Structure 1
Amino acid sequence: METETVEAEAAPAGLCKGFGPQSPRDIGSLEGLNERIFARAPSTKTLNLCNIHTHTNAEHKGPGFSVFAGPGDHGGYKCNDGDQLTAEELKDPAHGFGAFKGVKPGDTIEVHWVFSSCAVMPGQGLGSCLSETCSNPALRVEAQTFLLVNDPEALDFADFTYRGHTSEGYHQPMTLPEGTGEPVVYAGSTTGPKYTESICSPLQVTWSVRPQCARLDIASLYRWAEEGNVFKEDHSHGVRQLVTAPELLSPIESTVIVTRWDEPLKVE
Structure 2
Amino acid sequence: MSNKTRILCATALFLPFLANAASSQDTGYTVSDQVIKDQRAALAKNTFGKGYGPQSPRDIDNIQGNNERTFAQAPAYTKMNLCNIHFHKNAEHKGGEFTQHAGNGDGYGYRGGYQYSGELSETELAPIEQEIGASKYGSLYPGDTIEVHYVHSTAKVTPGATLGACLSEANMNPQLRVETQVFVLVNDSEAEDFTDLTKLGMVNGLNQAVNIPSDSGKPVQYTGSTTGPGYNEKASPLQVSWSVRPEVIKLNIDSVGKWLESNAFDEDHAHGVRNLVVNPDLLSNAK
The question of a shared fold, defined as TM-score above 0.5 by the shorter chain, is answered with yes
CA displacement at 1:118 relative to structure 2: 0.4
Aligned-partner Cα distance in 2 for 1:155–1:108? 14
Aligned-partner Cα distance in 2 for 1:131–1:213? 34
RMSD value, Cα = 2.0
- Residue 199 of structure 2 corresponds to which residue in structure 1? 162
Aligned-partner Cα distance in 1 for 2:149–2:64? 23
- CA gap of 1:104–1:48, structure 2 versus 1, over 3 A, is same
Q: Given the alignment of the two structures, is residue 57 of structure 1 paired with residue 90 of structure 2, yes or no?
A: yes
Q: Given the alignment of the two structures, is residue 201 of structure 1 paired with residue 236 of structure 2, yes or no?
A: yes
Which has the larger displacement, 72-81 or 199-208? 72-81
- Residue 146 of structure 1 corresponds to which residue in structure 2? 183
Output one character per residue of 1:137-182: Cα deviation in whole Å (capped at 9) or x when no partner: 010000010010011111111222133x100010001211122110
CA displacement at 1:99 relative to structure 2: 5.2
Contact 1:50 1:114 in 2 (8 A): yes
Q: Given the alignment of the two structures, is residue 180 of structure 1 paired with residue 234 of structure 2, yes or no?
A: no
- CA gap of 1:237–1:5, structure 2 versus 1, over 3 A, is closer
**3-state SS in 2 of match to 1:36:** coil
Aligned-partner Cα distance in 1 for 2:54–2:226? 10
Aligned-partner Cα distance in 1 for 2:275–2:42? 19
How many residue pairs match? The answer is 243
Q: Could you tell me the TM-score, scaled by structure 1's length?
A: 0.86
- Which of 205, 219, 225 aligns to 2:260? It is 225
- CA gap of 1:13–1:91, structure 2 versus 1, over 3 A, is closer
**3-state SS in 2 of match to 1:35:** coil
- CA gap of 1:162–1:217, structure 2 versus 1, over 3 A, is same
Contact 2:65 2:284 in 1 (8 A): yes
Aligned-partner Cα distance in 1 for 2:207–2:44? 43
Q: Which ranges in structure 1 are unaligned for 5 or more consecutive residues?
A: 254-268
Contact 1:99 1:223 in 2 (8 A): no
- CA gap of 1:68–1:15, structure 2 versus 1, over 3 A, is farther
- CA gap of 1:15–1:248, structure 2 versus 1, over 3 A, is farther
CA displacement at 1:249 relative to structure 2: 0.3
